[in-house]
Amino acid sequence: MAIRATFLVLLSFLIAGCEQTDTEGDLVIVPTEPELLTSTDDMQTGASDFDRSTHPGKGLYEESCSGCHDGTVSRAPHFSWLEMMDASVVYQAMNDGVMSVQAEALTDEDKILITEYLTRTKLAGGAALKVIEPPMCTDGDFDLSSPAQAVNWGHDTNRYSPSTVAGLTVSEIPHLELKWAFAFPHAFRARSQPTVAMGTVFVGSQEGRVYALDLETGCARWTFSAAAEVRTGIVLSLSEAPISKDNPPLAYFGDIIARFYAVNALTGELVWSFKADEHPSATLTATPAFHEGTLFVPVSSLEVIPAADPEYECCTFRGSVLAIDGTNGSVLWRHYTIEGEPSEVSRTSVGTRVLAPSGAPVWSSPTVDRKRGLIYVGTGENYSSPPDGNSDAVLAIDMATGARVWTRQSTSGDAWNVACMMANNPNCPPEDGPDFDHGSSILIVELDRDKDILLAGHKNGTVYALDPDNKAEVRWTTDVGRGSIQGGIHFGMSAADTQLYVPINDMNNTRNGDYLDPEQARPGIHSIDANTGKLLWSNVQSNVCYDEDEFCDPGISSPVTSIPGAVFAGHLDGFVRAYASENGELLWQFDTRPERVGVNGVTGYGGSMSGAGPAIVDGHVVINSGYGLYNHEPGNLLMVFAAPQ
């Protein structure tokens, strides 16, 4: 990576309308030359400090493992997924798990060296290989009279908690205090969307464990170990019949190697699981949607990462959505975002095959339109050239048949992969991006004149209003942020009636070679009238990052959550903040970054917040903190806030 030569630029923001800012005297450091990656190791915060090239595990991995994990063997996770796994998961797989037969010729020392090499973790004394059990609850039980509510991802992508669900008023917000924190062991990211139901917090983790934690104390009612990190939210089934031990809700989630699970939400026992996609780079990142016993499961991938290797034949993955029977896991239909399989279309300058069309992954939780019998998803970029008409688009899919109803592409000609973040890498498509996904879920809003509208946020910083009854005709567009490969609008907006809340990231240094003008950046929270697209107010967040915090940014990458009178947002600078709906005024903030001991006895700290947002239920605000990937600050905390009673 090029050495950052920096200069100081005065940050000033001028916009029309009401704006809450406090930027006087603030200075932002920006590079004189846009930065690039020298290795995919740079994508994990701190990983470049580990020298893989000389590590003794390198030869052992190449001799014993690389033949299956180089992306050519279906069902075998690509190297780019292995390196994101927890060290204990990798070691256990070789020791007595799914890879024990293949690893039987390896000594225990060999397994530890391979684990170190893959996870870039020093395992002195084997401490990081030990599973740390949380304190289990000794009294009390699930509150069966308080089932899951149909709010937040999985049930309603508008991410609005009405007063009957939130149990929190605007007057109580300034008095919120940290009730307890749970530190995920050996983790540097916490990005699974928490769900609160039955007096319990359900959440996934980097180590692949799913926890059911008591909302009042943080003790564990049960834990479940998936095969790899659980990044999706945990979605509980809804039923008209009362919850009982004979009629338990199921908890649904997916892991980063594309396995999907259903477990008994009262016991944590596995009910069924299956592999959602056999592609070596496939993953489940978006929270599934549940509707009347059917699950809609989006499939994405990180094939953009192995594409950074000039010898890698890019690319063969295409996004999809599956409809699953929630009772038994059978596949009802699969809809591919790209109809045909990729095939060779050209060769790179070094002779590597280029396969297309590829990509168009689905990163966002599906939106269920009960009135029209449709689901809506957004897609990401194509991975290879030439791009097609399915990337960076909003898709409408018939929920009964899986047939495509309409497509509305927001950005055409977008072909990109991680090779484009490196200097002169022949695997970068000639289009070179701009990598402007629809990673934010589509929102359905009923307008004042009894007309529905779809609201789609884009990484280019624009909100699109689409007419669902006229093949997604664009009703209005509003440019809110400057945009970048991490947003603009990244993971999710929120809507309370016709008031839309738009989080903007607008990082100034995304390490992909682009110079992004900091004076055009609009990091923070903004509000729009969904009827007209008019900007109501903006609160552009000033930079409170310390000079030594290289991966700290003021923007909002994570989804936001609203309640009557307020909206909550976790920022990349490690603060969770609440803003007034009326004018964007800051009501409350909390710095999650200081080190603290969790209720499980593990020391943790917060960091950047991304991927998941606040859950607000029964007077509690529940949020994860820490995102040590893609140039963000690491952390490993689940934090629960409440106002004193």
**Mean pLDDT score, 101-105:** 87
Average pLDDT, the chain: 91
- State both tokens at 129: 């290989």
Q: How far is 354 from 346, CA to CA, in rounded Å?
A: 5
Alpha-carbon distances, residue 507 vs 28, 126, 219 (angstroms): 11, 38, 37
Residues with Cβ within 8 Å of 211's Cβ and at least 6 positions away in sequence, in order, are: 134, 182, 201, 202, 203, 204, 205, 220, 223
Q: How far apart are CA 249 and CA 262, in angstroms?
A: 10
Please give the residue that has the higher pLDDT: either 78 or 26: 78
Number of domains composing the chain: 1
Residue 3 has pLDDT above 50, yes or no: no
pLDDT in tens, 394-408: 999 999 999 999 999
Q: What is the mean pLDDT of residues 246-253?
A: 97
Q: Is residue 397 part of a domain?
A: no
Question: In this predicted model, which residue has the larger pLDDT, 508 or 230?
Answer: 230
Determine, yes or no, domain membership for 104.
yes
Assigned domain for 320 exists: no
pLDDT in tens, 533-562: 999 999 999 999 988 888 999 999 999 999
Q: What is the pLDDT of residues 70-89, one digit of tens each?
A: 777 777 888 877 887 888 88
**Res. 31: pLDDT tops 60:** no
Q: What are 145's strand-pairing partners?
A: none
Structure confidence by residue, pLDDT tens digits, 451-461: 999 999 999 99
Residue 117 has pLDDT above 70, yes or no: yes
What pLDDT was estimated at residue 18?
Answer: 40
Q: Residue 66: is its pLDDT beyond 90?
A: no
Q: pLDDT value at position 8? A: 26
Mean pLDDT value of segment 8-14: 28
Residue 126: its pLDDT value, please? Answer: 65
Asked if residue 92 is part of any domain, the answer here is yes
Q: pLDDT at residue 278 above 70?
A: yes
pTM: 0.91
**What is the residue range of 90's domain?**
51-121
Burial grade of 77 (CB within 10 A; 0-12, 13-18, 19 or more): buried
What is the pLDDT at residue 360? Answer: 98
Q: Which token pair is 500?
A: 């839309």
Beta strand extents in 285-325 (DSSP E only): 289-291, 294-301, 320-325
Structural domain includes residue 95: yes
Is 614 within a domain?
no
In whole angstroms, give the CA distance from residue 338 to residue 318: 6
Average pLDDT over residues 328-337: 98
109 domain-assigned: yes
Distance between CA atoms of residues 77 and 74, nearest Å: 8
Residue 10 has pLDDT above 70, yes or no: no
Does 101 map to a domain?
A: yes
**Higher per-residue pLDDT: 498 or 110:** 498
521 class by beta-carbon count within 10 Å (0-12 exposed, 13-18 middle, 19+ buried): buried
Q: How far apart are CA 553 and CA 546, in angstroms?
A: 10
For residue 505, is pLDDT > 70?
Answer: yes
Highest mean pLDDT among 29-38, 60-69, 220-229: 220-229
Q: Is the pLDDT of residue 7 over 60?
A: no
The string of pLDDT tens digits covering residues 462-504 is 999 999 999 999 999 999 999 999 989 999 999 999 999 999 9
Q: With cut-offs at 50, 70 and 90, classify the pLDDT of residue 151.
A: very high
Average pLDDT estimate for 37-47 = 69
Q: List, for residues 580-632, the tens digit of each pLDDT value.
A: 999 999 999 999 999 999 999 999 999 999 999 999 999 999 999 999 998 89
